[in-house]
Chains A and B, each alone.
Chain A
Amino acid sequence: KAGVTQTPRYLIKTRGQQVTLSCSPISGHRSVSWYQQTPGQGLQFLFEYFSETQRNKGNFPGRFSGRQFSNSRSEMNVSTLELGDSALYLCASSLGLDSYEQYFGPGTRLTVT
C-alpha cells in the first residue's frame, strides 16, 4: 500500500506570495492532519480534516487554511507569506477520527525569501 505523498517536496517563494501544498493520504484513510516543523518551534499542529470538514485547529493565524476533498486528499494554503513561514510542512493520515496511529508523509520544505 502506498504511503502518504506530499507535493511538491521543495518550494521557494517570496514574501507576500501565497502557496498551496498538497497531501494524498494512504488509501482508505479518511483523516488528514497538517503539522509545521521548524528548528525554533519544533512540531506544531496546524489542523485536522475528516470527511471534508475541519475538525480541529491549532494556534496559527488565519493566513493558514486548508481543505479536504471527497477523495480525502487535502491541501493547505498559506497566504501573504512571511519569512517565519519557512518550515517543513508535514501531512499525516489516519483511518479515522478514533485512530491512534498517524502515518506521516515526507513533507514539503518551504523556503520564503
Chain B
Amino acid sequence: AQSVAQPEDQVNVAEGNPLTVKCTYSVSGNPYLFWYVQYPNRGLQFLLKYITGDNLVKGSYGFEAEFNKSQTSFHLKKPSALVSDSALYFCAVRDVARQLTFGSGTQLTVLP
C-alpha cells in the first residue's frame, strides 16, 4: 500500500528566509506526487505535481519541489517566504487506481 509521511507537524520560518516542507513517500511503481495548500476554512488548493521529467518542479505562488527517487522524497521549497504563505500544506501520492493518499499535513508559519 502506498503512503506519505510529513515528518514535521509544524515549521516556522522568518519572512524572507527560504522554506522547506518535507515529504517522503512509499509507492510501488512510478510515483505521481502532489502538493496542496489549505488556508483556514477553505478547501485545498493545488500547488504543483510531479509526474515525470525534471526532478525540480515549479508550481504556483513561487513554490517548487524537488523529486529525489533514491531518497523517495518530494520536498516543497520556496526561496523567500512570505507571511501570506502561512497555511497547512499537504503532500499526496496517487496510485494506479487514481486514489490520492495524503500526508498528515505540515502547518507552516512565516513570522514577520
Contacts and interface: CB of A to CB of B under 8 A. Distances in A.
Given A58-B99, A102-B100, A43 B32 contact: no
A48 B104 CA distance: 21
Contacts of A66: none
Contact of B43 (A45, A48, A55, A105): A105
Contacts of B51: 100
A107 B90 CA distance: 16
A33 to B, nearest CB: 8
Contacts of A92: 43-44
**Is chain B's binding surface mostly helix, strand, loop or mixed?**
strand
A56 interface: yes
**Is chain A's binding surface mostly helix, strand, loop or mixed?**
strand
- Interface band, chain B: 20 to 34
A37 to B, nearest CB: 9
B91 to A, nearest CB: 11
A58 B49 CA distance: 22
A90 B43 contact: yes
A4 B43 contact: yes
A100 B104 CA distance: 21
B49 A100 contact: yes
Interface residues of A, number: 23
Nearest to A99: B98
A105 B41 CA distance: 11
A64 to B, nearest CB: 15
Interface string B25-39: 000000010101000
Given A48-B98, A92-B43, A101-B49, 5 more contacts: A90-B43, A100-B32, A100-B49, A105-B43, A106-B41
Interface of B: 32, 34, 36, 41-46, 49, 51, 90, 94, 97-105
Interface of A: 4, 6, 33, 35, 42-45, 48, 55-56, 58, 90, 92, 97, 100-107
